[in-house]
Structure 1
Amino acid sequence: MAQEPRIDVALTLREGGAEPTRDELAELAGSLKPEVWFSTPLSSAEPAAAGREPDFTWDLVGAPYKGQAATGKAAVYLANSKFGIKRPFIFADGFNYGESDLPGLFAYFNQPYILGKAGFFDQLLSQGIDVIVLGFTERHTHIQANAEVAISAIQRTIAERVSRDPLTVGGVSMGGIITRYALAKMESDNADHETATYLSYDSPHNGAWIPLILQQMAYFFEDFTPAGPDGVKQADLIRSPAAQQLLWAWVENSKYSGPVATASELRKEFLADLARLGNFPRRPRLLGVSNGRRDGVGRPLPAGEVAFDWQALVASATARFQADKGEKKAIGGMHLGLAMRRSTTTEVPALDGAPGGTLDSFGKVADALKAKIAEEYRSGAFVPSVSAAALAFDPVKWDVNLNLSITDADLERGHLDEVAFDDDNTEHSHISVGLIDWIVERITG
């Protein structure tokens, strides 16, 4: 019987070591950056992309989930301010920590991505489509809670629309999962979402990946890192409900040994809720784009090899790229004073080099530790192409070839009606000419 994917952590004492002094700990704390690890703020390289102010903004409150109501905002940009909302396109923010930056989100997706051509949102506006950018007060909370905020936005849009044109609804990254859940729930509740097209932009339909060794480091060094604004700590995103629900493999602390694909009850609960709702909405046309390639060619990251090796006076950290399955394969370790961790994984695939939208996760952690890392080692897969394309495979077992050359037949067996892929494995949420042109053609056609 095949073993389930798991992690094992050896807790040992460092030979010849000593507990660090107060001064040594203070020096270590001073060298670590006070920031939330793995956050991915979107920003535009072109300040002019943010030049337009929304016509109006809505404050949104979702129906309570587990006794608490999530909140958010929507910024409404009208194609023609004289006519009001006629052809609405709701686009939701994705995975991150804290409150959405709606001006930043609009600016990022509206930046000119090719000389002489308008940005994505400006193209839609020029063709009579009203753009509604949806954000959340706590992007890191439960997906189900923020889906209620998305439902509120859909209902508000329908109520204020001055035409009978159907909606287009979707989002980037986790925003595509939030709106997928929202539309499916409305159908389950017999509520008419009046949506003809759903769009996901590099959304992890079957899960995302942040290397397990890097998750462990976030926890391990957190107590020695100054808290950021409002007392936020570096592991707050990785321990958040959103991360637990989104990541295929997750660990709860730096000492955890056990299964990784079912480590969080929140992910199991979320997948069960999705299945109860039918997994995807049935009425809209389902579109998706991936920042990864479809031909099975990933990033040339050597599985099991060292990505960075950091040595300080009282601490150290070694991160290896995820090994390809096998039993008790080394993924790295860390120490502080006498405490040491040495981690291995069993039957975890080499996800870092998989085709897909990338995240500079190794680079972010190396920078936080002030460790040296080769430029080509900074980024690995975050949303594998097979996940963004919503191929038909088990989101817990991940019984899929990560390096699959995705055929039209594979897509036909999947959950989306149409999928577009990037020409290369680009940064997660990257604005690609091919992807944007493909989306515009289908939304405006």
Structure 2
Amino acid sequence: MAQEARIDVALTLRDGGAEPSREELADLAASLKPEVWFSSSLSATNAAGREPDFTWELTGAPYQGQTATGKAAVYLANSKFGLNRPFIFADGFNYGESDLPGLFAYFNQPYDGKAGFFDQLLRQGFDVIVLGFTERHTHIQANAEVAIAAIRQAIAERKSDIPLTVGGVSMGGIITRYALAKMESGEADHETATYLSFDSPHNGAWIPLVLQQMAYFFEDFTPAGPDGAKQADLIRSPAAQQLLWAWVENSKYSGPVATASELRKEFLADLERVGNFPQRPRKLGVSNGRRDGIGRPLPAGEVAFDWQALIASATARFQADRGEKKAIGGMHLGLELRRSTTTEVPALDGVPGGTLDSFGKVADALKAKIADEYRSGAFVPSVSAAALAFDPVKWDVEPNLAITDADLQRGHLDEVAFDTDNTEHSHISGVLIDWIVDRLV
């Protein structure tokens, strides 16, 4: 029987050390930025801006007593004719409220001498509806109710019988996947002909476990930011627990990582209950990663950065490749020293996929030196963005798989496109945008 993927943390006392003074702790806290770690903004201030024709205020049906809200900015292809051919595109994984103008500008950046993605769709008669959420970090099921509200409003205000296109970037693709599948399971007509996911982690995303631990560890003595948010607020959020394949609840946690969160197990069960994927629409997906099995050259188990301060230290290693009790790093403050190991966790940092500068973000927060080529690792592995058929808990798949057409045919999407290199998660790649526009138009 295969051993379960897990993490173990050893706590020891340092020889010859001393507990830090109040002044030393204050100096350390002052050197760390009070911000949420791992968040990133999709915005482009240099892109040509356009005001939406109107905005919808949206409220989802209650989920477990929680009512999520959001907004949708509607850009009409022709304001004289009103809403005719709705294209709903949902925001993804992040902390706090969606920035709809920034999201529109980001995906509408010109590229390769061509007009932006949304401008191309508008010229082809699509009405672009950019969907955002008041709390991107809350439960996927709750924000899926907001997506359902947007779909219903689009149907109600549409002046034609042209079916919808519905999807999203990153977790937005998972939110809309669940929303459409739930509507089908309840025999509600979503009137959607095409579903689109843009680098969405259908089988889970990856943030290195040692970096998750550091977020918890350093927030314990760092004051909250102006909005009250702390370093680990995104990692501990319901969305992160549901989205990440491997997750830890605090910096001392030892135990299984793929089943550490009840919220992820519950979400996967809910997905299965509504049919896993919507069945009626054509299902399209794109990955910011390569399909040929070539990832980033990050040496498994080697040190990514090593930070030393007077009273504290932190060492982060790239995830080791499976094995038993493989070192991934550690940290100390005063007398206490923590060393972390993993068992049967694959070396996901270097696999093909859309990347996130996780190591770079943490190194910058600690003011640690890190090589440029070590800043980014895989966030959404290609095998996950492509929605290949494998167990989202056991991950009984080779993450460095060279994905064949046969693999895709056994998967859950009808068509998938991959980038020519492992680019930043949600990157506007001309290869991907051209492929999407060609399929939609």
Question: How does the TM-score come out when normalised to structure 1?
Answer: 0.98
Residue number in structure 2 paired with 1:218: 215
Residue number in structure 1 paired with 2:30: 30
Residue number in structure 1 paired with 2:7: 7
Residue number in structure 1 paired with 2:376: 379
Does residue 252 of structure 1 match 2:249?
yes
Shift of 1:389: 0.0
Residue number in structure 1 paired with 2:302: 305
The equivalences for 1:194-233 within 5 A come to 194-233=191-230
Residue number in structure 1 paired with 2:163: 166
- Please tell me whether the aligned partners of residues 173 and 197 of structure 2 are also in contact (alpha carbons under 8 angstroms): yes
- Please tell me whether the aligned partners of residues 95 and 137 of structure 2 are also in contact (alpha carbons under 8 angstroms): yes
Query: Any gaps of 5 or more consecutive residues in structure 1?
Result: none
Residue number in structure 1 paired with 2:82: 84
Residue number in structure 1 paired with 2:409: 412
Match of 2:103 among 86, 105, 108: 105
- Paired letter, 2:93: F
- Paired letter, 2:163: P
Return the alpha-carbon distance in structure 2 between the equivalents of residues 227 and 339 of structure 1: 23
Cα deviations by residue, 1:282-333 (Å, 9 ceiling, x for unpaired):
0000000000000000000000000000000000000000000000000000
Residue number in structure 2 paired with 1:74: 72
The equivalences for 1:396-411 within 5 A come to 396-411=393-408
Cα deviations by residue, 1:248-288 (Å, 9 ceiling, x for unpaired):
00000000000000000000000000001110000000000
Cα deviations by residue, 1:109-138 (Å, 9 ceiling, x for unpaired):
0011222x1000000001110000000000
The equivalences for 1:126-275 within 5 A come to 126-275=123-272
- Paired letter, 2:278: P
Residue number in structure 2 paired with 1:443: 440
* Count of aligned residue pairs for this structure pair: 441
Does residue 62 of structure 1 match 2:25?
no
Mean CA deviation greater in 223-232 or 100-109: 223-232
Return the alpha-carbon distance in structure 2 between the equivalents of residues 153 and 383 of structure 1: 26
Shift of 1:11: 1.1
Return the alpha-carbon distance in structure 1 between the equivalents of residues 229 and 353 of structure 2: 30
Shift of 1:68: 1.3
- Paired letter, 2:298: L
Query: Any gaps of 5 or more consecutive residues in structure 2?
Result: none
- Paired letter, 2:432: L
- Paired letter, 1:129: F
- Paired letter, 2:314: A
RMSD: 0.6
Cα deviations by residue, 1:212-249 (Å, 9 ceiling, x for unpaired):
00000000000222211221101000000000000000
Residue number in structure 2 paired with 1:344: 341
Shift of 1:16: 1.1
Return the alpha-carbon distance in structure 1 between the equivalents of residues 288 and 373 of structure 2: 18
Return the alpha-carbon distance in structure 1 between the equivalents of residues 336 and 89 of structure 2: 46
Q: Secondary structure at the match of 2:144?
A: helix
Match of 2:292 among 291, 295, 320: 295
Return the alpha-carbon distance in structure 1 between the equivalents of residues 284 and 334 of structure 2: 51
Q: Secondary structure at the match of 1:171?
A: strand
Cα deviations by residue, 1:65-84 (Å, 9 ceiling, x for unpaired):
01111000000000000111
Question: How does the TM-score come out when normalised to structure 2?
Answer: 0.99
Residue number in structure 1 paired with 2:326: 329
Return the alpha-carbon distance in structure 2 between the equivalents of residues 226 and 423 of structure 1: 42
- Paired letter, 1:308: F
Return the alpha-carbon distance in structure 2 between the equivalents of residues 73 and 349 of structure 1: 39
Match of 1:124 among 121, 144, 157: 121
Q: Secondary structure at the match of 2:230?
A: coil
- Paired letter, 1:80: N
Shift of 1:47: 2.0
Q: 1:5 to 1:48 in 2, by over 3 A?
A: closer
Cα deviations by residue, 1:88-121 (Å, 9 ceiling, x for unpaired):
1000000000000000000000011222x10000
Return the alpha-carbon distance in structure 2 between the equivalents of residues 14 and 253 of structure 1: 21
